[in-house]
DNA sequence: GCTTGCTCCTGTAGCCACTACAGGAGTTAA
DNA sequence: TTAACTCCTGTAGTGGCTACAGGAGCAAGC
């Protein structure tokens, strides 16, 4: 038997989530406490694989663990889809803001680096830029 | 007297760096240990204002504290401008990579949110996207 | 049955760059 | 003198992991 007895190592391989991270997610309640074998080891099933994959993809999209908790609630029907939509839009707006900030940063860094590489100014152009 | 005796509070206001952060920077050696008054309080001067402003601008550009240490070395001539240039370019490339990642993220989030708001699918489009 | 080597367990501490206290002491204006 | 304010040190918390230490379960080979 035990057709669906998945060890934490196998779960980690299947989902791409680090073993320590799996235990961490359990500790903070992002995934439910795993069932245990007679020897006290965690035993997972395919549902656990699904859920952990969900969590991983959400993390890759940059959602915080708290946000993922809400998304999981939506997934299991305990919360309205509207909430997931609001989260996604809010997060997307934050991402857009980050992109704007980083673009400005990139310009500033490029300008400083270009002036420096041209060796025009007497001091260091990057240090100059930071000293104002 | 004490024409240049700046308290930590005044320094914080002039540079926009939090008081606790100033003490933190001193603790990790990003700024040198401040001089002390008879009563044991930190006393800063205009050089300290300059240096802390430098640190702040570098942080705003996303340099790590270790990188800022190197930039400060360049600023005081203990290290070549070439090193600052290398740091700036390396950091700019990291920023560019971040922007690329965030753009992809933004597309994914927008797509999921748009499908959701249209209310076309039976379940939640965002949850669907995360469940694959 | 025993050993070897692998995986797993718990608990704790570290990472980065701060931020937020608690509990006490110096300083300044009324 | 007193009240209000600023500052001091030391410690702990944040998020999202990651990395041990020191021990125990478990499978395969001899």
Chain A residues with CB-CB distance to B85 below 8 A = 113, 116-117, 124, 126
pLDDT digits (tens, 9 = 90+) for A31-89: 999 999 999 999 999 999 999 999 999 999 999 999 999 999 999 999 999 999 999 99
- Range B62-68 average pLDDT: 96
Tell if the CB–CB gap between A81 and B116 is shorter than 8 Å. yes
DSSP codes of every residue in B18-49: -HHHHHHHHHTTSSPPPEE-TTS-EEB-HHHH
Residue A132: per-residue pLDDT:
84
Dist. CA A105–CA A112, nearest whole Å: 11
pLDDT at B67 over 60: yes
Query: Which chain B residue has the Cα nearest residue A62?
Result: B105
Report the percent of chain B where pLDDT is more than 90: 87
Per-residue pLDDT band at B132 (split at 50, 70, 90)? confident
Predicted local confidence at residue B29, as pLDDT: 95
* Nucleotide minimizing C1' to CA distance for residue A9: C7
Q: Name the CATH topology of A1-63.
A: Multidrug-efflux Transporter Regulator; Chain: A; Domain 2 (1.10.1660)
Distance from CA of A3 to the nearest CA of B (A): 23
* Residue B52: closest CA among B10, B81, B92, B94: B10
- pLDDT category at B4 given cuts 50, 70, 90 is low
Higher pLDDT residue, B12 or A118? Answer: B12
Nucleic strand D near CB of residue B17 (< 7 Å): no
What pLDDT is recorded for position B1? 38
Which residues does chain A have within 8 Å of residue B79's beta carbon, measured at their own beta carbons? none
User: Residue ranges of the domains in chain B?
Assistant: 1-63, 80-132
Q: What span, in angstroms and rounded, lies between the C-alpha atoms of A31 and A42?
A: 13
> Quick one: average pLDDT of B52-66?
97
What the block records as the tokens of A70 is: 């809400």
What pLDDT digit, counting tens, does each position of B69-121 carry? 999 999 999 999 999 999 999 999 999 999 999 999 999 999 999 988 776 66
């Amino acid at each position: 038997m035990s057709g669906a007895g998945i060890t934490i190592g196998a779960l980690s391989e299947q989902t791409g989530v680090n073993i320590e991270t799996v235990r961490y997610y359990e500790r903070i309640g992002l995934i439910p406490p795993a069932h245990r074998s007679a020897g006290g080891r965690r035993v997972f099933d395919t549902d656990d694989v699904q859920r952990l994959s969900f969590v991983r993809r959400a993390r890759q999209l940059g959602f915080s663990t708290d946000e993922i908790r809400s998304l999981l609630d939506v997934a299991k029907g305990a919360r309205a889809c509207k909430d997931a939509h609001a989260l996604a839009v809010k997060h997307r707006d934050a991402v857009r803001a980050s992109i704007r900030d980083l673009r400005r940063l990139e310009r500033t860094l490029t300008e400083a680096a270009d002036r420096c590489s041209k060796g025009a100014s007497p001091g260091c152009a990057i240090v100059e830029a930071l000293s104002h």
